Amino acid sequence: MDTLILGLPVAYYIAMVAKVLVAFVFVLLTVAYATYAERKIIGHMQVRLGPMRTGWHGLLQPIADGVKLFFKEEIVPSQASKFAFLIAPLVALIPAFISFAVIPFGDSVTIGGYTVPLQIAAYYDEAGKQVFDINVGVLYILAMASLGVYGIVLAGWASNSKYSLLGGLRSAAQMISYELAAGLAIISVFMLSESLSLHKIVADQAGGAWYAFKQPFAFIIFFICSLAEINRTPFDLPEAETELVSGFCTEYSSMKYAMFFMAEYANMITVCAVTTTLFLGGWHGPAFLPGWFWFIAKVYFLIFVCMWVRATYPRYRYDQLMRLGWKVFLPLTLVNVMATGLWVMFISK
């Protein structure tokens, strides 16, 4: 190969930058159009139309929303902790995006004789045989998912408003109660695939059944817990407008509010991508279309399910939410982990 920088060919760095850009644009576009899709889908589920005015069937609505948010007045409460107030939306937004570094979007593409795996933090060796990726990808995602809540708690605290503070604290409590169950649900996947590398987990599901069929309980519980962890309806208690005005983002306006909004949708995409990777066979699908197509189709289907759930269920009360997390999901996932362990030890070997 050609020139090496820090032991890796130049093509590796070019591919890396290209992958980051593509993934970033993909997430941004999906976020913009997920807001539109959500309004449309929920509209039709409630026998109405949703946005119709801007562009054909309201297709330009996300752009109009963006322009509007850019020109709205920025308000910082006079008694707020300014620095924390300004940085909180970023703290919420960045973890939502960087989780994508380890998610395999597809198999690989060959550009100029260099094989590039469609996973940001991964590369092939020079022979184009073995993939090197982060071998603790799932742990990385769990870590990033739990970072997002810092932004919300920070926003709640920095706003110097009782509603915001309550919203932020609720978010923290909710996060803990659901992250445990989500983590335990994933453990059963590790036990089956014997790896934390997302690439390996996807590869394991290639031939046989997806883990959603081998671990249906873990699949359902993980998906529900993820919804709770990213504060989506019916678990959107940190911003419950009936009790807390708008929760942690009460005092936010303009682009700073939009960043929280983006973080919420980016988180939803992340969660759907992780669920696809762990349980729905990642980018594998019938052979006649490229892998990335199947990956995106599955992710979009799960996003649709999120919206479907939102259109259907009313918001949980806070004590119900806590009870569900600690008294239902946690014991269920523990039992599931034990059952999986016994199965792996005595039956599958």
Closest distance to other proteins from the beta carbon of 310 (Å): 10
Residue 37 is a binding residue for other proteins (CB under 8 A): no
Residue 49 is a binding residue for other proteins (CB under 8 A): yes
Q: Which of 37, 45, 147, 255 binds other proteins (CB under 8 A)?
A: 45
Write down the number of H helices and E strands in the chain. Answer: 13, 6
Residue 44 is a binding residue for other proteins (CB under 8 A): yes
Residue 48 is a binding residue for other proteins (CB under 8 A): yes
Cβ burial 13-23 (10 Å sphere, 16+ → b, else e)? eebbeebeeeb
Closest distance to other proteins from the beta carbon of 304 (Å): 10
Residue 309 is a binding residue for other proteins (CB under 8 A): yes
Q: Which of 22, 52, 147, 180 binds other proteins (CB under 8 A)?
A: 52
Closest distance to other proteins from the beta carbon of 44 (Å): 5
Between 307 and 330, CB nearer to other proteins: 307
Whether 130 contacts 161, CB under 8 Å: no
- 157: tokens are 């605290």
d(CA 85, CA 128): 47
Closest distance to other proteins from the beta carbon of 57 (Å): 12
Closest distance to other proteins from the beta carbon of 255 (Å): 31
Residue 308 is a binding residue for other proteins (CB under 8 A): yes
d(CA 126, CA 143): 31
Q: Which of 110, 301, 312, 331 binds other proteins (CB under 8 A)?
A: 312
Whether 118 contacts 107, CB under 8 Å: yes
Between 228 and 259, CB nearer to other proteins: 228
Q: What sign does the CA torsion over 205, 24, 267, 190 have?
A: positive
Between 52 and 60, CB nearer to other proteins: 52
Which segment (13-21, 119-127, 243-251, 311-319) binds other proteins by CB under 8 A? Answer: 311-319
Distance from the Cα of residue 96 to its chain's centroid: 6
Count Cβ atoms within 10 A of the Cβ of residue 150 and give its class: 0-12 exposed, 13-18 middle, 19 or more buried.
middle
Residue 41 is a binding residue for other proteins (CB under 8 A): yes
Give the contact letters, 264-303, x = binds to other proteins (CB under 8 A), - = no. Answer: ----------------------------------------
Supply φ then ψ for residue 344, to 5 degrees. Answer: -65, -40
Closest distance to other proteins from the beta carbon of 184 (Å): 20
- 20: tokens are 């980051």
Supply φ then ψ for residue 4, to 5 degrees. Answer: -110, 140
Classify residue 189 by its DSSP letter.
H
Give CA separation, 89 vs 16, 99, 199, 216, 250, in Å.
27, 17, 31, 35, 13
Which segment (40-48, 166-174, 190-198, 240-248) binds other proteins by CB under 8 A? Answer: 40-48
∠197-16-265 over CA atoms, to 5°?
70
Residue entry with tokens 């960045």 = 94
Q: Which of 5, 17, 47, 347 binds other proteins (CB under 8 A)?
A: 47
Which segment (44-52, 147-155, 169-177, 243-251) binds other proteins by CB under 8 A? Answer: 44-52
Residues that bind other proteins (CB under 8 A): 41, 43-49, 52, 308-309, 311-313
